[in-house]
Amino acid sequence: MRESNLSEVVDLTQRYLSQLKELGEEEIFLNRDLIASLSHLRPESASDLSKFYRQIKDCQLCPLSRTRTNLVFGVGNPAAGMVLVGEAPGRDEDLQGEPFVGRAGQLLNKILKAIDFERADVYICNILKCRPPGNRDPLPDEIEACKPYLLRQLEMIKPQVILVLGRVAAQVLLKTSSDLGKLRGRIHLFGNSKLVVTYHPAALLRNPRLKRPAWEDVQLARRVYDGMEPEGADDEEISLFRPHKNI
């Protein structure tokens, strides 16, 4: 079984065990043959990502390397079925070396929980690995220098779904200049992954009116992850769903 299927196997197993518990089962026994047959599911992507981080942690390809505190590589499940991609680290992220740890990150954690994900279930990273001064938009040469790192991470993880947070990240990954409003609410294709675009959590903090459309977007991403996208949906299919929880 491919590494990209590991998270799906774990998710299905958890659901199955929960159902057994509801039926009153208190113990489950696995034979040695079954355990042996599952041993190949142990992901190598964790060690691959760690090795890749060590290779690039001292990157000097663009001037941002001279102003950063930490290279912000990414965090989460290396065999995740869903990867979240933001724009670039902010001040808190630069200090801690981890993406989405400030106020926007706290909101992102709530959004994930609302669609039944914990932060550790997904993988979170950015287009840029270093903070632009003053949190300005990334420059084209910075994107060109750093984008191969992100593409390599996605190649290692092989997610079913990529949830893109914000205009800049969406335009970079989809190679477009279209406004975010034209990109969200649709299922795009990115290699073998389905890609969904939504607003950056920081935008939701600045403008709470965006929470409702953002909630529709993340519901769409969850349904695509669960294999519940509309029949016949393609990269231009608009597919929005009614909310059932609050962010």
Question: DSSP letter string over 62-84?
Answer: SGGGGT-SS----EE-TT-SEEE
CA distance 45 to 47: 6
φ, ψ (nearest 5 deg) of residue 232: 85, 5
The domain ranges of the chain are 3-12+42-225
Question: What pLDDT score does 14 carry?
Answer: 58
CATH code for the structural domain at 3-12+42-225: 3.40.470.10
Q: Which residue has the tokens 């270093």?
A: 130
What is d(CA 143, CA 180) in angstroms, rounded to the nearest whole number?
18
Digits of tens for pLDDT over the chain (247 positions)?
A: 444 445 555 555 655 565 555 566 665 555 444 444 343 344 456 789 999 999 999 999 999 999 999 999 999 999 999 999 999 999 999 999 999 999 999 999 999 999 999 999 999 999 999 999 998 999 999 999 999 999 999 999 999 999 999 999 999 999 999 999 999 999 999 999 999 999 999 999 999 999 999 999 999 999 999 998 755 444 444 333 333 344 4
Amino acid at 198: T
**How far does Cα 157 stand from its chain's mean position?**
10
Question: CB under 8 Å to 174, separation ≥6 — which residues?
Answer: 164, 183, 188, 190, 195, 197
Model pTM?
0.77
* Best CA proximity match to 185, nearest among 136, 223, 151, 159: 223
Distant-in-sequence, close-in-space partners of 228: CB < 8 Å, separation ≥ 6: none
| pLDDT, position 156 | 95
Edge-to-edge strands, sheet with 161-165: 75-76, 123-126, 82-86, 161-165, 193-198, 188-190
Write the CA distances from 24 to 11, 15, 27, 30, 155, integer angstroms: 20, 15, 9, 18, 42
* Residue 12: CB atoms within 10 Å: 10
Torsion angle (degrees, nearest 10) of CA 196, 201, 206, 210? 40
